[in-house]
Amino acid sequence: MLDCAIIGGGPAGLTAGLYATRGGLQNVTMFEMGLPGGQITQSSEIENYPGFFEHDKTGMDFMDTWQKQCFHFGLKHEMKKVESVAKTGEYFTITLEGGEKVEAKTTIVCTGSVPKRAGFKGEDEFFGKGVSTCATCDGFFYKDKPVTVLGGGDTALEEALYLSNICSDVYVVHRRDEFRAAPPTLERIEKKENIHLITNSVIDEAYGDAMGLQGVRIKDKEGNITELKNTGLFVFVGHDVRNDVLQDENGEFICKMNDWGQVIVDLSMKTSLEGLFAAGDMRIEAPKQVVSAAGDGAVAALQVISYIQEQA
Ligand code: FAD
Ligand code: NAP
């Protein structure tokens, strides 16, 4: 019987593992289907994590010491995909790929979320080299330079507002002439002089060379092409929250979720199901940053320790 099962080995899961083991729990296993580290390992650099300011280090380098630190304090790692989490009676049953089952007193779910891709030519090729899904992470690299934003939802328009305070011009490309975003957000966008709306248009191609993105070609409904050179491209066309482990055999969630599939937690990262915690990008109102995911993981682990003490 595990004291705690941690599902997902990104910044939230690793930090939960560090705090749980250093806090005295003997039997903590993190189930991570790939190498530990999470989404940030795809990034070529990170410069907004306090205390880490080395420009020649990638996201992979950055996360390397996290796992070493956790394993040093006794966290165990199983490189296995979790299929589902269920609570029957007092304990949790974690079902792994292949059918193996593991029992745990508590569970912290940290499976993250994945920004959707729009599917235009060059998107994958230049992802992380000029094409980004995170304005907070990469906006500063375009200080006083023009950027293009794709999408017409709340995320796209809110991130366009954020970028408009850093960048010289923000070109928002949206495939329709009506926006899905809340009307007050659109009003704020329309008042910003350096935000330019390009509607009824899509990104036809992002192009560049070995150094990265150089520009984008935008196509309108009539097929006319406009070229924006020397721009960063931010894609905000929705997120897929990785919440499938929390679904039972009938497709019902085992804890309360919001309309967008994010786990509802309180400030202690407690879900609506006793003993189940959620941390990082998959929870409601997540800032989707390494520092906040790590903070969530620490909070959840401290709560797990208290919970186990109360149950004993
Ligand atoms: P994740 O990092 O998504 O980790 C979740 C982990 O769970 C993954 O490793 C996944 O393999 C695992 N998992 C999922 N499902 C299962 C399952 N069923 N079984 C087992 N394992 C599973 N943030 C910043 O603060 N600064 C930046 O500069 C920055 N740059 C970024 C650049 C890129 C290219 C990307 C993609 C993101 C960037 N971010 C940045 C965001 C940051 O990476 C995330 O906010 C953070 O990683 C979220 O951590 P997490 O632990 O919640 O989830
Ligand atoms: P979203 O609402 O699904 O919007 C995605 C946007 O991307 C839409 O405008 C969509 O166009 C466009 N799009 C989708 N696929 C595309 C493609 N392949 N090519 C080009 N454009 C594409 O996603 P979101 O903005 O991330 O928001 C997700 C949820 O979170 C929403 O319910 C939103 O209200 C909520 N949210 C709320 C707040 C807030 O309340 N402050 C902030 C952020 C997000 P169409 O409009 O034509 O479909």
Query: What confidence score (pLDDT) does residue 53 get?
Result: 80
Specify whether 70 is catalytic: no
CA of 45 to the centre of ligand 1 (A): 14
**309 alpha carbon, distance to own chain's centre:** 31
The CATH H-level (homologous superfamily) assignment of domain 131-235 is FAD/NAD(P)-binding domain (3.50.50.60)
Query: What confidence score (pLDDT) does residue 55 get?
Result: 72
Tell me the domain boundaries of the chain: 2-115+239-311, 131-235
pLDDT tens digits along 198-257: 999 999 999 999 999 999 999 999 999 999 998 899 999 998 999 999 999 999 999 999
CA of 88 to the centre of ligand 2 (A): 37
Among the atoms of ligand 2, which is closest to the Cα of residue 174?
A: 21
Of 107, 80, 123, 114, whose CA–CA distance to 217 is shortest? 123
Any residues with Cβ below 6 Å from ligand 1, and which?
7-13, 31-34, 38-40, 42-43, 46, 48, 81-82, 110-112, 128, 134, 137, 242, 245, 280-281, 288-291, 293
Specify whether 137 is catalytic: yes
Q: What is the CATH number of domain 2-115+239-311?
A: 3.50.50.60
pLDDT tens digits along 263-278: 999 999 999 999 999 9
Query: What confidence score (pLDDT) does residue 126 get?
Result: 96
Kindly report the protein residue whose alpha carbon is nearest to atom 41 of ligand 1.
289
Query: What confidence score (pLDDT) does residue 117 get?
Result: 95
